[in-house]
Amino acid sequence: MTTTEEQHDALRSLLGAWALGACPRPEAAELELHLRACSECAEEAARLREAAGWLAVDEPLDQPGSLRQQVLDWCLARRPAELPVPAWGLPYSAETAKLDALLRDLGPEEWQEVVELPWHGGTEYLRPAEVLCHLAAVDGYLALALGLPDPVPAGPGGAVAPAERRVPPQEPAAVPSAPRVPPQGGRFAGITERSARLAADQAGRPPQSVRARWRRQTHELVRTAVLASQGNTPVDYGFATVPLRDAFVDRAFECYVHGEDVARAVAYPYAPPAPQHLRQMVDLAVRMLPHALAGLRAARPEHAGAPAAPPADGRDGRGGRLLRLVIDGPAAGEWLIPLDGTAPDDRQSGPPGGEPVASMVLDGLEFCQLAAAHRDPDRLPVGEHGDRAAIREVLHALPLLSRP
């Protein structure tokens, strides 16, 4: 039997698919007939099939999430770093590494899963690559503060005009058209808009390249922060300005929360932050709480419990009530939360006198999940002592710290 040059080439191009068992039966039969007659093809077929045989090996051991910290600690104990990462950068390093490790294992179908990202104003629905764009877009505020390039492409003045753009970037004050978005939705218009712009920019790219880009930026951020900053650099989020040291903890927290959102969507396990990192997250949330309490009272005045207004004792709010927060679990610690004051920044200098009106005890991870609006404040297991109304108020204020 003779085969034309053209038929030979056509059959030969099938060899890879054939070796993988990926040819429909008639094509495979035709090729196998050809192999009996063509030693050139037969030789390649044998080589490729032998190689394909090695694809069927066992899955490697799962890399335990705690291994990274163990290895790094071990290395640093043997040779201390000359340029160490400051404590405020460590949660971000760890959480971005953890998310990256999860994404490394995602298959093509898992990149198509829809991830639910709840926050106190609703739920966002994004694919994993879009979640990365969201994280990268907000991380971009830190990049800008550190003098790095903004990952988000220039606004609609440019050549690319993303169709889904909802709010023009120069008018963040404009009230979003969707009526069910609470009034605060407007505060986060900048975040939403930047995330959508970056997602539109990256929409055509393979997910793994979106991941690589996000990962490069996270590495760049930590590296630049270590080399260039003492942690006081102001970072402008659009609706608030915070020092870099807090911004990094905030970003670590969001990375953890959304990493877990992604893991849930693809049914993978996801480990909580290391205890010392969790404690830093709790501490940041505690310091932000007075703002959330003020927001809660502004939105729902009837919610403010018995003393609706700060006690008018002539001490400009500094004599206000306190609540003792006791975190148990691995991140154990104690914090005093001013319920009526708005000057929480000098926690170190000691709160104004007076016994706390209430104490609440809860797990550190649950506290953070509540701050991310991933828990129902009325169903959280909380140990309560003292003024229950004050405790309820704090529990309901916490989710207000969440953002889209």
Partner 1 sequence: MAAPGPMATPGSTPRWDEQLQRRLARGEETALGELYDQLAPMVHGLAGRILADQAAAAQLTREIFVHVWEHPEAFDPAQGSLRSWLGALTHRRAVDRLRLRRAAELHAPDGPAEDEIREVATAARMQYVVDSLPQSLRETIAVTYYDGRTYQETARRLGISEQAAKQRMRLGLELLATELAEERARQCAAHAGGEDGDGGT
**Per CB under 8 A, does 61 bind partner 1?**
yes
Q: Count the residues of the shown chain that bind partner 1, applying the rule CB under 8 A.
A: 55
Options 34, 120, 127, 215; binder of partner 1; rule CB under 8 A? 215
**Per CB under 8 A, does 13 bind partner 1?**
yes
In the complex with partner 1, the residue whose CB is nearer, 208 or 233, is 208
Options 149, 183, 206, 301; binder of partner 1; rule CB under 8 A? 206
**Per CB under 8 A, does 38 bind partner 1?**
no
3-class state of residue 363 by DSSP: strand
**Per CB under 8 A, does 76 bind partner 1?**
yes
Site string for partner 1, 220-239 (x = CB under 8 A): --xx--x-------------
* Residue 355 CB, nearest approach to partner 1 (Å): 43
**Per CB under 8 A, does 171 bind partner 1?**
no
Q: How far apart are CA 232 and CA 223, in angstroms?
A: 16
DSSP 88-140: GGHHHHHHHHHHHHHHHT--TTGGGSPEEEEETTEEEEE-HHHHHHHHHHHHH
DSSP 298-310: HH-GGGS-S--S-
Touching partner 1, residues 82-141 (CB under 8 A): 82-85, 93, 97, 100-101, 104, 107-108
Q: How far apart are CA 48 and CA 53, in angstroms?
A: 9
Cβ contacts of residue 287 below 8 Å, gap of 6+? 246, 344, 345, 347
Contact 249, 284 (CB under 8 A): yes
In the complex with partner 1, the residue whose CB is nearer, 17 or 380, is 17
Q: Outline where 122-274 has alpha helix (H).
A: 128-145, 189-202, 207-228, 244-265
Residue 201 Cα distances to 77, 109, 143, 324, angstroms: 43, 21, 18, 46
In the complex with partner 1, the residue whose CB is nearer, 36 or 104, is 104
* Residue 133 CB, nearest approach to partner 1 (Å): 18
Residues that bind partner 1 in the complex, under the rule CB under 8 A: 13-17, 19-24, 47-48, 50-52, 54-55, 57-58, 60-61, 63-64, 67-68, 70-72, 74-76, 78-85, 93, 97, 100-101, 104, 107-108, 206, 208, 212, 215, 219, 222-223, 226
